[in-house]
Amino acid sequence: MVRRMTATREATAVATAHSAQGSDGRRLDIGAWAYFEGKLVPFADANVSIATHSFNYGTAIFEGIRGYRQADGHVALLFALEHYQRLLRNGKLLRTSIPETAEELVEVTREMLRRNEAAEDLYIRPLLYKSAQSIRLQLTGLDDRIAIFAFPLGDYVATEGLRVSLSAWQRVNDNAVPARGKITGSYVNACLAVEDAHAGGYGEALLLTSEGHVAEASSANIFIVNGRQIATPPTSDDVLPGITRDAIMTVARDHGYDVVERKVDRTELYVADEIFLSGTGVQIAAIASIDDRPIGSGDGFPVTTSLQQAYFKAVRGLDPRYSHWLTRV
């Protein structure tokens, strides 16, 4: 095990769980251990200065990784390596440079969760950030660091019957701040949209591109179902190339659906048979209405439900076809 994955015996005695607020306002019990500045430390010691560049300018990249309790009681990470590979790849947008490899970060995470005695469904948040104490507008010549923490998490949003609104806020353009990068500063765009949606009594917001095409939800990709065809906007429409998005497309094709990536018009949403969201946090969530227009015939969400069942079977380790998606803690 590399040196940066170690922690002192003295630190063990003071590592305790901490709390934060989840998306629904409920308390989240954050694990006692975090990875910070090259080593595992008590979560309370994983702090940055208010002069940190990423705190001032949003110059950080983040990921979200799910861990699912398996049938034997152990936790397995979903697409752990793929998430860390994307984190490091996206770091090129901010000209970052760190010593850790994606494979080492997977092992760091596994060790952190063992120390946290993870035994339930959880969410891991890695951050690649500009750690220099600087207020200069620059990307090069600044120190970069990795931070990782975790907390238990069930459903991020309702997985059935989600009420959604179309946002007046436009999806941030790839030539402004690329959605594909998962850059922390760009998520103000998502916060503005979803805050308005919540104020109006909706559970989520959908954003359009500058050309008026459907992009995605505040923190999830979108799929529309018509018969046996499932369509999703292309990544060229200011869409995050979601890892869960790819997984759902694989599962859908394995179940005989015709999955296509194409531009989606706003009005298509109102006449679709079904619509659902996908993402690490969201998982698969069926949409019941958009702008208070009911979706489908009112007979439920048969396609979405079948994909949900197949997906949850896969992430729980119950379908050997997808066992390579999982990394046991």
pLDDT in tens, 282-302: 999 999 999 999 998 877 899
The secondary structure of 306-320 as a DSSP string is HHHHHHHHHHTT--G
Q: If pLDDT is split at 50, 70 and 90, which confidence band does 18 have?
A: low
Domain end: 87, 120, 152, which one? 152
Q: What is the CATH number of the domain that holds 135?
A: 3.30.470.10
Q: What is the CATH number of the domain that holds 268?
A: 3.20.10.10
Residues 288, 200 within the same domain: yes
| Confidence check: pLDDT of 19 > 70 | no
pLDDT of residue 4: 42
> Hey, what are 26's tokens?
């409920």
Residues 116, 174 within the same domain: no
pLDDT of residue 158: 61
**Which amino acid is located at 137 in the chain?**
L
The secondary structure of 105-172 as a DSSP string is HHHHHHHHHHHTT--S-EEEEEEEEE-SB--SS-STT--EEEEEEEEE---SS-SSSEEEEEEEEEPP
Q: Measured between alpha carbons, how far is 67 from 316 in angstroms, rounded to an integer?
A: 9
Question: Are the C-beta atoms of 205 and 166 separated by less than 8 Å?
Answer: yes
- Helix then strand then coil, in percent of the chain rounded to 5, is 30, 30, 40
* Domain membership flag for residue 322: no
Q: Give, in order, the Cα–Cα distances in Å from 115 to each of 45, 126, 269.
A: 16, 17, 46
Domain end: 113, 128, 152, which one? 152
- Structural domain count of the chain: 2
* Domain membership flag for residue 81: yes
Beta carbons within 8 Å of 238's beta carbon, 6+ residues apart: 171, 172, 173, 174, 179, 209, 215, 216
* Domain membership flag for residue 325: no
Calculate mean pLDDT across residues 46-75.
96
Residues 143, 178 within the same domain: no
Backbone angles phi, psi at 257, to 5 degrees: -85, 150
* Domain membership flag for residue 320: no
Residues 208, 241 within the same domain: yes
Residues 146, 44 within the same domain: yes
* Domain membership flag for residue 244: yes
Q: Give the SS3 label for residue 91.
A: helix
Annotated catalytic residue: which of 39, 130, 182, 313? 182
Residues 265, 175 within the same domain: yes
92 is catalytic: no
Q: Give the SS3 label for residue 11.
A: helix
Per-residue pLDDT tens digits for 136-191:
999 999 999 999 999 998 776 666 789 999 999 999 999 999 999 999 999 999 99
Residues 54, 17 within the same domain: yes
| Confidence check: pLDDT of 60 > 90 | yes
pLDDT of residue 299: 78
Residues 134, 218 within the same domain: no
Domain membership of residue 186 as a residue range: 162-315
Q: Give the SS3 label for residue 10.
A: helix
Residues 136, 166 within the same domain: no
Beta carbons within 8 Å of 246's beta carbon, 6+ residues apart: none
| Confidence check: pLDDT of 247 > 50 | yes
* Rounded percentage of the chain residues whose pLDDT exceeds 70: 90
Calculate mean pLDDT across residues 68-92.
97
| Confidence check: pLDDT of 50 > 60 | yes
Residues 184, 291 within the same domain: yes
Residue labelled with tokens 């060790």: 111
Residues 44, 175 within the same domain: no
pLDDT, mean over the chain: 91
* Domain membership flag for residue 321: no
CA-angle at 164, arms to 184 and 193, nearest 5°: 35
pLDDT of residue 310: 97
> Hey, what are 251's tokens?
């599962």
* Domain membership flag for residue 324: no
pTM to 2 decimals? 0.90
Residues 135, 242 within the same domain: no
Per-residue pLDDT tens digits for 95-119:
999 999 999 999 999 999 999 998 8
* Helices and strands in the chain, H and E counts: 8, 19
Q: If pLDDT is split at 50, 70 and 90, which confidence band does 21 have?
A: low
Provide the strand spans (E) within the chain: 18-21, 27-30, 33-36, 39-42, 60-62, 65-69, 75-78, 122-130, 144-152, 162-170, 204-208, 214-217, 221-226, 229-232, 258-261, 274-279, 283-290, 293-294, 326-328
* Domain membership flag for residue 329: no
Domain end: 152, 185, 214, which one? 152
